[in-house]
Amino acid sequence: MKRKVLYVLLFFLAILYSCDKEVAIERGSEALISDIFANIEGSGPDRLFEPRYSNDTIYFDIPYYYPVDSDFETDLSKIIVRATISSDAKLSVKFGEPMDLTKPLDFYVISGTGVEKKYVIKAKKVGDTSISDSKISFEMDGATQEVEGILINDELRFFVLSGLDMSQTTLTFTINKHATSSIQSGTVLDLNTPQTLTISAPGNVEKEYKIVLMEPIRLPYGFGIHRSLWVKEGAEWDFTGDLESCIAVSGDYLIITTTGTTGNSRYRVFNRFTGEYVRDMYMPFTASSGALSQSNQLVADETGKLLAVNRAAYGQNIRIYKYTDVFDDDPELLINTTNANTALPTTADRSTGRRLNITGNLDGDAVITSPASVTKAFYRWEVKNGVLVSQTPAVVTMSGIAGNHIGYYPEIQYINPSVTSNYLLGQQNDFSYMDATTNNQINAVSLQSRGNTTFMNALAIGRFNNATYAFLGRYFANYTLRRMGLSMFDITNPQMLGTQTSSSLYPSFNVFNSETLVSPLSTTGPGTGDIAVGYSHDGDRMQVYMLHTGYGIWAYEFTVYSAN
């Protein structure tokens, strides 16, 4: 018995001394800044002001007024700096609260091992010297001609035919209300000789723009000159959190869908060039509609006619209304059926109407699709010669795709307006090229930074200057779904959808990638971005709009003109 007690005592002593053993903690040796930005009081985590770097000096050009078109002068003594530094490191000053940047700020990043790295922040207030909405007008053959300008670096380029007399040309443009110009908007100029326009703004900043007339070189295929038109944050559209789920383009108008749960969904119409609110479209899904009271989606065909759909749980009624345009207050009830089919798995959500896609012309030939949530299936309707073939949709079940299901907000877009056409699937797990006969995946589309892409739901097709393009909205970095960008693919030859990123042909397939927009939402976003495509009346320009739910809308323009 004494021997057993001795063993127990030795056991506990061993445990006691093992607990006293020091555990070595390896301290970090890096003292680096991986990210830094600035904002002002009341802006939360928003990235308002981005830096410029020169060795260990960080420069911030702070707008003289913020917002830039307001009368609120920025106070450099109350700028908030936020930064991400090396793991286990610390800062010698406290970021995240207002600080005085009226003079250079020296600070250190100190690593866990005590290594110090010095940085300097230099901030200055600069006025807005940008120019927009530039146009020239002149007389030709007794009629007034108007040409929009395109800004390329520091050149205002206007494309006009050679040999014209441009001695009596009126130049108009828009600048910030606090800026001045060496030439007043509306001035008649002799553009037969070179002219320079200088914009001056508070903070002693100036920018010169050369006014250049060029004979247009129209490309026979695809796009040439392209530019960002604007980025408008949610506050400018009166966004309500993450309820703005869809956008559509019809003529000169951009329609934003705001999802409601008790009959208060809205289709708000804006001028897509000026952003001016026009009206609310007629809403067929109201509180008195019962199960039909919620709408997530209004979508346009390739000619600007519109379809509105309700969100329908399994077993409920699906109704799809057709509008001729945004002013149609008596839309046609095109589809009236029930969300029920034994081909759908009984254990899944199976709701539909969260997404609706159209390929083609509703007055000609078109294919309409709506996914069944948390399945691998979608509903499909066909329109031939302007007539709906059947109220009862075909149920298409896909195979060979990544994931156990396609989630809640996938998009299915046929490449051509025929049910025999192959189609594209954008979903949370992959971007797929699908076979229309077998409904099996032909291939997953190869994407740059694929490992950094989370969701790939938003999808659209545009046809421009003899080319067909697919547009994909991509969520980057992590599952908070706050970072979104646009990728553009030339699918005129659908076989290009099999092009690998390692191929020398890949740049002629993935022809454009946008900047990444970061939403200020502090919570996980819903991943319900959307894409809409519009065209100028002469067909020389294509505008692409990307909705980043919870952030705002980004607009980009592609033209048929060569940049050379």
- Write down the pLDDT at residue 34: 86
Higher pLDDT, residue 435 or 141: 435
Question: Mean pLDDT across the stretch 508-524?
Answer: 78
Q: Which residue do the tokens 């709408």 mark? A: 295
- Write down the pLDDT at residue 156: 95
- Write down the pLDDT at residue 261: 73
* Measured distance CA(52)–CA(203) in Å, rounded: 18
Beta bridge partners of 121: 58, 105
- pLDDT over 90 (residue 453): no
Q: What is the pTM of this model?
A: 0.75
One fold for 33-126 and 131-214: yes
Question: Mean pLDDT across the stretch 234-258?
Answer: 92
Question: Mean pLDDT across the stretch 508-513?
Answer: 96
Question: Mean pLDDT across the stretch 542-556?
Answer: 91
Predicted confidence band of residue 264 (pLDDT cuts 50, 70, 90): confident
Question: Mean pLDDT across the stretch 33-45?
Answer: 90
Question: Mean pLDDT across the stretch 51-68?
Answer: 94
Predicted confidence band of residue 339 (pLDDT cuts 50, 70, 90): very high
- Write down the pLDDT at residue 228: 86
- Which range is least confidently modeled, 227-241, 428-442, 470-484? 470-484
* Measured distance CA(478)–CA(431) in Å, rounded: 17
Question: Mean pLDDT across the stretch 19-36?
Answer: 72
What lies within 8 Å, CB to CB, of 502 at 6+ separation is: none
| Region of 515 on the Ramachandran plot (φ > 0 left; ψ -120 to 50 alpha; else beta) | beta
How many helices (H) and strands (E) would you count in the chain? 2, 43
- Which range is least confidently modeled, 41-50, 113-122, 351-360? 41-50
- Write down the pLDDT at residue 520: 62
- Write down the pLDDT at residue 504: 97
Higher pLDDT, residue 66 or 162: 66
Question: Mean pLDDT across the stretch 15-30?
Answer: 61
Q: Retrieve residue 413's tokens.
A: 């877009």
- Give the C-alpha distances (Å, rounded to integers) separating 330 from 268, 319, 322, 325, 564: 16, 15, 9, 11, 49
* Measured distance CA(450)–CA(60) in Å, rounded: 32
Residues 373 and 352 sit within 8 Å (Cβ to Cβ): yes
DSSP H helices in 413-544: 506-509
- pLDDT over 90 (residue 503): yes
- pLDDT over 80 (residue 309): yes
Query: What is the chain's mean pLDDT, rounded?
Result: 90
Predicted confidence band of residue 24 (pLDDT cuts 50, 70, 90): low
Burial of 422 from C-beta contacts in 10 A (0-12 / 13-18 / 19+): middle
- Write down the pLDDT at residue 122: 97
- pLDDT over 60 (residue 534): yes
- Which range is least confidently modeled, 21-35, 358-372, 468-482? 21-35
Predicted confidence band of residue 524 (pLDDT cuts 50, 70, 90): low
- pLDDT over 80 (residue 480): no
Q: Retrieve residue 44's tokens.
A: 């939360």
Q: Which CATH architecture has domain 131-214?
A: Sandwich (2.60)
User: Hey, what amino acid is at 195?
Assistant: Q
DSSP secondary structure string for all residues of 339-386: S--TTS-TTS---B-S--EEEE-TTS-EEEEEE-TTSSEEEEEEEETT
Predicted confidence band of residue 477 (pLDDT cuts 50, 70, 90): low
pLDDT tens digits for range 374-429:
999 999 999 999 999 999 999 999 999 999 999 998 999 999 999 999 999 999 88
- pLDDT over 90 (residue 126): yes
Q: Any idea how long the chain is?
A: 564
- pLDDT over 80 (residue 454): no
CB atoms within 10 A of CB 468: 16
- Give the C-alpha distances (Å, rounded to integers) separating 493 from 83, 415, 468, 547: 45, 11, 8, 27
CATH class held by domain 33-126: mainly beta
CATH class held by domain 226-559: mainly beta
Closest residue by Cα to residue 121 from 160, 158, 82, 171: 82
* Buried-exposed string 216-248: b where 16+ CB fall within 10 A, e elsewhere: beebeebbbbbeeeebbbbeebebeebbbbbbb
- Write down the pLDDT at residue 527: 65
- pLDDT over 70 (residue 4): no
User: Domain-by-domain residue ranges, the chain?
Assistant: 33-126, 131-214, 226-559
